[in-house]
Structure 1
Amino acid sequence: MAAEHPRITDDGVSFGKSYAVLNLDLMAILIDAVKDTAKGQAFISSCTRWNDAVHKIHPRPPVIFTTLSFSPGEPELAEDAPFGKIIRNFGSFIAGSSAVQIASNFEVDSKDIVLQKTRCYGGTGNSLEQILKARNIDTVIISGLSLSGVVMSTIYRLFDLDYNIYVISDNVLELPLDQHQEYSRVMLGSLLPKMNLRVISVDSALRAVERSLVDCGPVIN
């Protein structure tokens, strides 16, 4: 049986000094939809491991979370638009509700940045691009769900803006879950390499952070 997606071996990757960690839509409503499955539990465990490690770095790189949410009455959504039909399968995404908060599995503190968005792309309706520019970021490390929608939409936009992009293979998940193997094989195994973008395991990401810290001096506590 073919692997779900190719594992890229550690080849000395370093993220450099100007990178940001971008966590796409790790919110309660979506995590609740996958948490009782084997794939979902593996995804949550890997994202938690990565997030916990990043939060121990000093100085910490920008850690950005996005959450999909809408004003009461969802005026941002067209009634019969394709995007609206997709998200309504999951329930309501009203701003301020518990459903759209970052899931409790993941540490979020006052140093982190949480951005509301209204479409797949992580920067729709918020200041993501301004934040990256203001902090002189040149490299973005991506985790999140769903792979074919939110993750790929964000990758394409940041790719067009000339950011170096790394996708952590263990930290992305396709919805519905029964499509994860098929979509990850194509997108992580073929599409991203064709775009000259890097797909790395969470272990490689953690080692890359350590190498990057050598350039800056401090180490993970």
Structure 2
Amino acid sequence: MGSSNDTPNFGKRFAVLNLDWMHILTNAIQGTDEGKKYIHSCSRWNDAVHQLDPRPLTVFSTLAFTRGQPEVEANKPFARLIFPFGSFEAGSKDTQIDSRFLVDDKDIVLQKTRWSATTGSSLEQILKAQGIDTVVISGLSLSGAVMSTIYRLFDLDYNIFVISDNVVELPVDQTEVFSKVLCGTLLPKMNLSVVSLEQALTALIKSR
């Protein structure tokens, strides 16, 4: 795959994957400079995708649990990680896609039960059934949902593009440091592509 310096091309069988654009998480970062930039960039990308006709397969993930979180074992690392944010109860406003991001009946919204968008959801089945070979990823958090999903899709041999402007770390003041390591070093080492928002928008038009 091309480097971030190349003009990217997503091909004809790509899907757009937006990870955890949920009220509970976007509200937690919206008052920061990093959060404002992230939300604005993701909105530009999402609006551009929705203007395409035909539109590529577009999937949103949301972390959500049955009331009481029976899917989560208490006092384990993941349970301790999500505890400060809330209960993530399925159907609550907290777990809905933030209203600043357009979602319509052509989009797919999948509930998941761990960081990876493939855990507790039908994402793998959907990608296979729709003949997808390339996935373009945005989301938060970079070290959590984004990297967990990347590793699983990497193992399944998908081509992966990560939009560098559309990923953020929690807490957001760690974004620059984590981005340098993960987007600047690790992903290229895995032969995966990291592109800017502007490059992604250009590729979106080329790939029609």
TM range (shorter): over 0.9
Equivalent position amino acid for 2:53 in 1: H
| 2:196 is equivalent to residue 164 of structure 1 | no
Q: CA separation in 2, counterparts of 1:193 and 1:58?
A: 31
| 2:50 is equivalent to residue 46 of structure 1 | no
1:116-165 Cα deviation digits (max 9, x unpaired): 00001101111000000000000000000000011000000000000000
| 2:61 is equivalent to residue 61 of structure 1 | no
Unaligned runs of 5+ in 1: 1-6, 214-221
Aligned twin of 2:116: 121
Q: CA separation in 1, counterparts of 2:51 and 2:151?
A: 30
Q: CA deviation at 1:181?
A: 1.3
Provide runs of 4+ in structure 1 moved above 6 Å.
none
Q: In angstroms, what is the RMSD of aligned CA positions?
A: 1.0
Which of 53, 66, 85 is residue 90 of structure 1 equivalent to? 85
Which of 52, 67, 71 is residue 72 of structure 1 equivalent to? 67
Q: CA separation in 1, counterparts of 2:71 and 2:19?
A: 19
Equivalent position amino acid for 1:66 in 2: S
Which of 146, 150, 158 is residue 151 of structure 1 equivalent to? 146
SS in 1 for 2:85: coil
| 2:17 is equivalent to residue 22 of structure 1 | yes
Aligned twin of 2:103: 108
Aligned residues: 206
Aligned twin of 1:210: 205
Q: CA separation in 1, counterparts of 2:7 and 2:138?
A: 20
Percentage identity across paired residues of the two chains:
61
| 2:14 is equivalent to residue 8 of structure 1 | no
Q: CA separation in 2, counterparts of 1:190 and 1:12?
A: 19
Q: CA deviation at 1:106?
A: 0.1
Indicate if the aligned counterparts of 2:69 and 2:87 stay in contact, CA closer than 8 A. Answer: no
Q: CA deviation at 1:98?
A: 0.3
SS in 2 for 1:137: coil
Which of 195, 204, 207 is residue 200 of structure 1 equivalent to? 195
Q: CA deviation at 1:8?
A: 3.2
Unaligned runs of 5+ in 2: none
Equivalent position amino acid for 1:105 in 2: R
Q: CA deviation at 1:12?
A: 2.3
Q: CA separation in 1, counterparts of 2:203 and 2:174?
A: 30
SS in 2 for 1:116: strand
Equivalent position amino acid for 1:165 in 2: I
